[in-house]
Structure 1
Amino acid sequence: MPEPGFKDCGSRSDRTRRPEFRLGLVIRVPKMAQICFVVSLILQILRIGQLAAAATTAPTSDPEFTDSIENITVPAGRNVKLACSVKNLGSYKVAWMHFEQSAILTVHNHVITRNPRISVTHDKHRTWFLHISDVHQEDMGRYMCQINTVTAKTQFGYLHVVVPPNIDDSLSSSDAIVREGANVSLTCKATGSPPPSIRWKRDDGSKISISKNLVVSEWEGDTLEMARISRLDMGAYLCIASNGVPPTVSKRIKVSVDFPPMLWIPHQLVGAPLGYSVTLECHSEAHPTSLNYWTREDGHMIHDSEKHRAVTLPDKPSYKTHMQLTIHSLTKDDFGTYKCVAKNPRGETDGTIRLYISDPPSTSPSPVTTELSRKDWDSTAELNNSVYGNPSSLTIQNEKGAKVGSKFQSNLNEIDKSEQKSSDSDRKRNSKWPSDDNGGSGAELASSLALLYLGAAGLLAVR
């Protein structure tokens, strides 16, 4: 004869569970949908041994519920207990069930389910507590408390389990590298209860360019699509998932935009006196980061030495760099054409800078002079180097590398004599100097402008 006990009752994982107490018969339920009938039948069987004693005692009131089961919302991972309060229970029994899972959890003091997180306690048979530890999302649903009266009495309470958002990396985009002008689609998938919402922001606070005509601060939705992306769109994008259950989570997705190098030269024509030092400048944009270097007009690469000092400085945004070439103690051989070159896997480009000889500043110590401050000299030097419409990036230094003093002195008569000494032979010797639109020498025009400037300054000083 087989051992008596519960069979085919409760959740699938509980079907082979045998309770610690025996009923003396085997119950087989063909369909789990008959859960209520089964529980009621079990509770009635439990009362078989109590009927004789009940017949000899005075009649009592039927048991009834004294309070409804409270609906509870709890975050996943917490512990929770559901309370079922009854009165006049007498010899009747109380059972707990998970209605959606069609599972009998407890009967009176006994735990029926195999779930180790389930337990039951009571307060002198008045309140029966169903304990669930480390709540999982699958624990969510309706819980039924039933008393095994002739017509079973039942009531329900709902357990709502909330789960903070979690971004599923396997279903979300990772860092992306695209060509400039291509379309980009980023995806972010998140789970949680309630289902989380997704919004996108740029990590640096810049706006998101969805298309040529649509620029936004934030974008909502699982997918972020950007048309014809440019280098300005390069950077980190944040996918932020939230559902009202802390904490809000985010995923950082870096978008790199590849493009060939481009150069911008602020001063393509630079003048400097013999014996001085000068710095040439180029600004490059490239991604991936370009290889940057300087050459002479014959293609010979310039290396760092006592004569030359090449520096590449990072700029912002990260795809920009600032190239500088400093040439010390200029000689005639140093004048001519220089090239700044930038290369990366996407392409190569170069830019040309022409370095020519200019007149040095006058430093006569005559005390009866009009003083010209360094600021005024800088303005004059700028005029000298801007006469052809190309401002220079000249950094004037003396032979020892120190900057020229804060003031220069010059005599109006000496300047006049200096201009008269600009002979034809001098112009032939400096035949490489560029000329203005009227065919005159740039140095002559600059000297004239300086003369006019100093004359005006002298008149103001006399007054």
Structure 2
Amino acid sequence: MAIEGDSSNSGKNGVIPVTNVVVEEPEFTDIIENITVPAGRNVKLACSVKNLGSYKVAWMHFEQSAILTVHNHVITRNPRISVTHDKHDKHRTWFLHINNVQEEDKGRYMCQINTVTAKTQFGYLHVVVPPNIDDSLSSSDIIVREGSNVTLKCRATGSPTPTVKWKRDDNSKIAINKSLNVHEWDGDSLEISRISRLDMGAYLCIASNGVPPTVSKRIKVSVDFPPMLWIPHQLIGVPSGANVTLECFTEAHPCLRFKEYFTVEWIPPMLWIPHQLIGVPSGANVTLECFTEAHPTSLNYWTLGEGQMIHDSKKFKSETTLGNPSYKTHMRLTIFNTSQSDENSYKCVAKNPRGETDGAIRLYVSPPTTISPGPATTESQRRDTWDTRGSINNTTNGHPSVYILDKNSRMSSNLNDIGKSEQKSTDNSKGYNLPIEISKV
């Protein structure tokens, strides 16, 4: 603005001479830089102005339509906001301070000079937030029945929006369904169709968005299934006076304490018995075997005939070995110095809260053999040994296999070489009578 006068007439008219005065309006001297800051940090936005004069500078949050500061005064009630300026700077710079930045602080910030026509400029504040998994909206450790469908959920927050992927803790493949197995799965949900015991284990939900740190959640999946048994030899023959060991392998999950087994409701399980009939010469030792699968791990024991539980003694020794995976169990029963009185049906039993199963092994003990004067073939010797007993009745489902143990040899021979295992469920009726024919060797 300029004010002009005539100095030549000043003396005559008594007017004080006036010189030309030019007043410059304020201007911005620099842009407001866009800033990216992690949540929780402090940030400072700068607005530089020259020729401010008596005008004032104000800071506003544009998206929130909120006036934050005017000149040296803080208008907002947000205690994290403050303002400072450098008086000694040729171009005075006004700083907007935001402490402990939160995600809601993101957006455009406007620096304004209150001229007649307001002058403004903008700077953008980007707030990045590390990923966080919301436990209240995500799955936790679960126990499911084998064969059911399972959905695991993992909800993550952050800015930018995190991506979620799934892995197994042991780096094995994830079985999405029968035809799809993957090492990793993307998405905040993981669906497994008809889950099996092989899918049991820990699953990792991993969330990342480029802002460290990456976070993960470990979800343990337990798969319950009825006990299952494998019996390598169901018919065992030993000579009188020999020791014999009976074996049974089990798999079960969950594990059952003995005191619990009287109070739970049982579900029919399954059973595998490799050998149902075992023959040994008198005086030999023999081991019966049984294999089971169950989860929780089953309570395993042996019985004699239909009921009497077998305890360790000079005559019997039972062993139970956990397999890999842990839901597999190998049961063994050794009978020492077998005699005719040891001929019986031996049962391996497995129980857990999901079911109960048992498998029978028939043991035959042959008397000491005598050598006939004339030559005898292997076939006739076996027929002489077994024909006196007639047909052997099988009390379990499937085709039994016959094992003969020679007292003078460490080798046992499978006479009928069937090579089939028995799979049994408590749903099956008992009392199958299957005659056993000893095949030629």
The TM-score, its normalising length taken from structure 1, stands at 0.64
For 2:288, what is the secondary structure of its paired residue? strand
Question: Which range moves more in the overlay, 94-103 or 346-355?
Answer: 346-355
Which amino acid in structure 2 is aligned with residue 101 of structure 1?
Q
Q: Does 1:138 align with 2:138?
A: no
Question: How many Å apart are 1:129 and its aligned residue?
Answer: 1.2
Contact 1:271–1:385 at 8 Å: present in 2 too? no
Q: Does 1:128 align with 2:94?
A: yes
Matched residues in 1 for 2:198 and 2:80: separation? Answer: 54
Which amino acid in structure 1 is aligned with residue 301 of structure 2?
Y
Change (3 A) 1:153 1:436: same
- 5+ residue gaps, structure 2: 1-17, 244-284, 369-404, 420-435
* Deviation by residue 1:348-372 (Cα, 9 ceiling, x = unmatched): 1112234444799xxxxxxxxxxxx
Which residue pairs with 2:194 in the alignment? 228
Which residue pairs with 1:303 in the alignment? 311
Which residue pairs with 1:107 in the alignment? 70
Q: Does 1:98 align with 2:56?
A: no
Matched residues in 1 for 2:76 and 2:167: separation? Answer: 47
Matched residues in 1 for 2:198 and 2:312: separation? Answer: 34
For 1:229, what is the secondary structure of its paired residue? coil
* Deviation by residue 1:190-220 (Cα, 9 ceiling, x = unmatched): 1111111111122222212222222222211
**Correspondence 1:288-327 to 2 at 5 A:** 288-327=296-335
Matched residues in 2 for 1:308 and 1:104: separation? Answer: 89
Matched residues in 1 for 2:213 and 2:107: separation? Answer: 24
Change (3 A) 1:219 1:382: farther
How many residue pairs match? The answer is 326
Matched residues in 2 for 1:91 and 1:56: separation? Answer: 22
Which amino acid in structure 1 is aligned with residue 72 of structure 2?
N
**Correspondence 1:367-382 to 2 at 5 A:** 381=409
* Deviation by residue 1:47-87 (Cα, 9 ceiling, x = unmatched): xxxxxxxx999544322222111111111111111111222
Matched residues in 1 for 2:418 and 2:412: separation? Answer: 10
* Deviation by residue 1:223-270 (Cα, 9 ceiling, x = unmatched): 222222222222222222111111112222222222211111233344
Change (3 A) 1:149 1:308: same
Question: How many Å apart are 1:333 and its aligned residue?
Answer: 3.1
Question: How many Å apart are 1:299 and its aligned residue?
Answer: 2.2
The TM-score, its normalising length taken from structure 2, stands at 0.67
Change (3 A) 1:204 1:323: same
* Deviation by residue 1:3-22 (Cα, 9 ceiling, x = unmatched): xxxxxxxxxxxxxxxxxxxx
Contact 2:340–2:366 at 8 Å: present in 1 too? no
Change (3 A) 1:349 1:95: same
For 2:413, what is the secondary structure of its paired residue? helix
**Correspondence 1:319-398 to 2 at 5 A:** 319-357=327-365, 381=409, 383-389=411-417
Change (3 A) 1:387 1:192: same
**Greater helix fraction, Structure 1 or Structure 2:** 1
For 2:412, what is the secondary structure of its paired residue? helix
Change (3 A) 1:181 1:56: farther
**Correspondence 1:232-311 to 2 at 5 A:** 232-272=198-238, 274-276=241-243, 277-311=285-319
- Of 4, 26, 50, 1:87 maps to 50
Change (3 A) 1:175 1:306: same
Matched residues in 2 for 1:56 and 1:162: separation? Answer: 57
Question: How many Å apart are 1:331 and its aligned residue?
Answer: 4.4
Which residue pairs with 2:172 in the alignment? 206
For 1:385, what is the secondary structure of its paired residue? strand
Q: Percent identity among equivalent residues?
A: 74
Matched residues in 2 for 1:253 and 1:181: separation? Answer: 19
Matched residues in 2 for 1:58 and 1:322: separation? Answer: 106
Which residue pairs with 1:152 in the alignment? 118
Which amino acid in structure 1 is aligned with residue 187 of structure 2?
G
For 2:309, what is the secondary structure of its paired residue? coil
Which residue pairs with 1:420 in the alignment? none
Matched residues in 2 for 1:285 and 1:167: separation? Answer: 36
Question: How many Å apart are 1:140 and its aligned residue?
Answer: 0.7
Question: How many Å apart are 1:278 and its aligned residue?
Answer: 4.1
Change (3 A) 1:122 1:309: farther
For 1:205, what is the secondary structure of its paired residue? coil
Change (3 A) 1:214 1:175: same
Greater RCO structure (CA 8 Å; 6+ sep):
2
Matched residues in 1 for 2:111 and 2:157: separation? Answer: 32
**Greater strand fraction, Structure 1 or Structure 2:** 2
Which residue pairs with 1:187 in the alignment? 153
Which amino acid in structure 1 is aligned with residue 322 of structure 2?
P
Matched residues in 2 for 1:66 and 1:173: separation? Answer: 55
Matched residues in 2 for 1:153 and 1:185: separation? Answer: 57
Matched residues in 1 for 2:38 and 2:307: separation? Answer: 70
Which amino acid in structure 2 is aligned with residue 386 of structure 1?
N
Contact 1:269–1:390 at 8 Å: present in 2 too? no
Matched residues in 2 for 1:76 and 1:359: separation? Answer: 86
Which amino acid in structure 1 is aligned with residue 333 of structure 2?
L
Change (3 A) 1:297 1:350: same
* Deviation by residue 1:344-399 (Cα, 9 ceiling, x = unmatched): 22221112234444799xxxxxxxxxxxxxxxx99x946533334279xxxxxxxx
